[in-house]
Amino acid sequence: MAAAREAVEEAGKILQDGGLVAFPTETVYGLGGDALNPESSRKIYAAKGRPSDNPLIVHICRWEDMSLIVREIPETAKKLGKAFWPGPITMILEKSDRVPRETTGGLSTVAVRMPSDPTALSLIRAAGGYVAAPSANASGRPSPTLAKHVEEDLGGRIEMILDGGQACIGLESTIVDLTEEIPTILRPGYITKEMLEEVLGKVEIDGAILPEGCKTAPKAPGMKYRHYAPKAELTIISGEEEAVVKRINALLKEAEKKGLRSGVIATDATAGRYGATFVKSAGSREREEETARELYRILREFDDEAVDVIYSEAFEESGIGQAVMNRLLKAAGHRMEMAGGAV
Ligand code: TXA
Ligand code: MG
């Protein structure tokens, strides 16, 4: 679903005048401001309640527009652009003087992405070509995948929200740092390491985003923040399906004895097997992309329902499943146990 043309034109004017507009992208909703206007970037940080050392992604709609904002375009960027843009991947490159430090959180590099969502592309064009946009959530909440999530978090604090329906991917873009000798993934997403390696050859993953790396400082400043933590205590249970169902049901009984409200993140195949008031299916276990699309909505719903504890099944780490588990582990503060034994 694309937003109406008049609405996009109006939104473009708001951005040109230094205002803020939330808009759909294929990953999550973004909170846009003019990337070349330092005042707009300041407003973005204020509206989200986000620390101003956490840089913003600059969204473009034409490959030619890259040259104004980066110092040089390496071969790796050309290859990635050709393979995956417009699409859910963000490249980190050395910035030019045209990009204000307010936009890059004081860094000398800039994050650039060309989204594929048609509303996003028309808006960027209408705004003059450069739209700085973090995810359009209040700092500390899950990224919005529906316009109503943006309304809940930022309604009344920004000039306009463009509604483009549900974001079709549901998790933020893959971020790849191209300023290093070997391209490095700073945040996993829909475009996986394997997909990148097919185009670039060797690719590394920033140690800080691996499960065992939570103590090293991540290179994407945003990944260092505790990020979203649900109001409830979230625990992930991994293992064989039968063992997981049994263990979660045992945990639910314990929670009930303590008088706690509990929730479960299940899959289509298991959702009917849990004795909790709030059981939500993250889709079919065979289709990780369904889980990616529904995850943030589910976590927001649990917050609204004020549950005390959430138990989630673990998901396969293949394809976008890797990004799903990355976000789920963060939300759980890395609390994960193996059904039938400790991890
Ligand atoms: O899918 C997405 O990327 C969405 C949509 C709206 O495009 N945007 C998004 O932006 O997720 P945000 O601000 O929520 O996350 C951007 C991440 C942060 O972790 C930030 O620290 C990192 O990108 N980042 C931005 N510029 C960077 C830079 N120059 N060097 C390293 N990390 C950077
Ligand atoms: Mg974000």
pLDDT band at 224 (very low <50, low <70, confident <90, very high): low
Q: Locate 150 and state its tokens.
A: 């943006």
Mean pLDDT of the chain: 94
Closest listed residue to residue 2, CA positions, set 166, 192, 222, 185: 166
Q: Is pLDDT of 220 > 70?
A: yes
Q: HSE on the CB side for 61, CA within 13 Å? A: 16
Q: Tell me what pLDDT residue 218 has.
A: 74
Closest ligand by atom to 31 CA: 1
> What confidence tens digit (pLDDT) does each residue in 203-213 have?
999 987 766 65
Q: Locate 155 and state its tokens.
A: 């309604």
Find the 295 Cα to ligand 2 centroid distance in Å. 15
Q: Is pLDDT of 268 > 70?
A: yes
Tell me the mean pLDDT in the region 72-100. 98
Q: What percent of the chain has pLDDT over 70?
A: 96
Tell me the mean pLDDT in the region 150-172. 97
Tell me the mean pLDDT in the region 253-268. 96
Instruction: Give me the amino acid identity at 340.
Output: G
What residues have CB less than 8 Å from 224, skipping those under 6 apart?
208, 217, 218
> What confidence tens digit (pLDDT) does each residue in 231-245 have?
899 999 999 999 999
Find the 240 Cα to ligand 2 centroid distance in Å. 32
| C-beta 86 within 6 A of ligand 1 | no
Atom of ligand 1 nearest to the CA of 220: 32
Q: Tell me what pLDDT residue 213 has.
A: 57
As a whole number of angstroms, the distance between CA 190 and CA 169 comes to: 7
Alpha helices in 17-74 (DSSP H): 38-48, 66-69
CA nearest ligand 1 atom 25, residue: 55
| C-beta 120 within 6 A of ligand 1 | no
Q: Tell me what pLDDT residue 341 has.
A: 59
Q: Tell me what pLDDT residue 227 has.
A: 67
Report the range of poorest mean pLDDT among 74-78, 191-195, 202-206, 216-220: 216-220
Q: Is pLDDT of 256 > 90?
A: yes
Q: Tell me what pLDDT residue 1 has.
A: 76
Q: Tell me what pLDDT residue 195 has.
A: 97
Angle (nearest 5°) at CA 63 between 59 and 66: 65
Find the 174 Cα to ligand 1 centroid distance in Å. 9
| C-beta 28 within 6 A of ligand 1 | yes
Q: Tell me what pLDDT residue 207 has.
A: 82
Closest listed residue to residue 43, CA positions, set 140, 154, 151, 122: 154
As a whole number of angstroms, the distance between CA 171 and CA 88 comes to: 9
Q: Is pLDDT of 324 > 60?
A: yes
Q: Tell me what pLDDT residue 214 has.
A: 54
Q: Tell me what pLDDT residue 51 has.
A: 86
Task: Output DSSP code: residue 129.
Answer: S
Report the range of poorest mean pLDDT among 148-157, 318-327, 334-343: 334-343
pLDDT band at 318 (very low <50, low <70, confident <90, very high): confident
Tell me the mean pLDDT in the region 151-163. 97
Q: Locate 265 and state its tokens.
A: 């993140």
Q: Is pLDDT of 80 > 60?
A: yes
pLDDT band at 188 (very low <50, low <70, confident <90, very high): very high
Residue scoring higher pLDDT (221 or 100) = 100
Q: Tell me what pLDDT residue 210 has.
A: 67
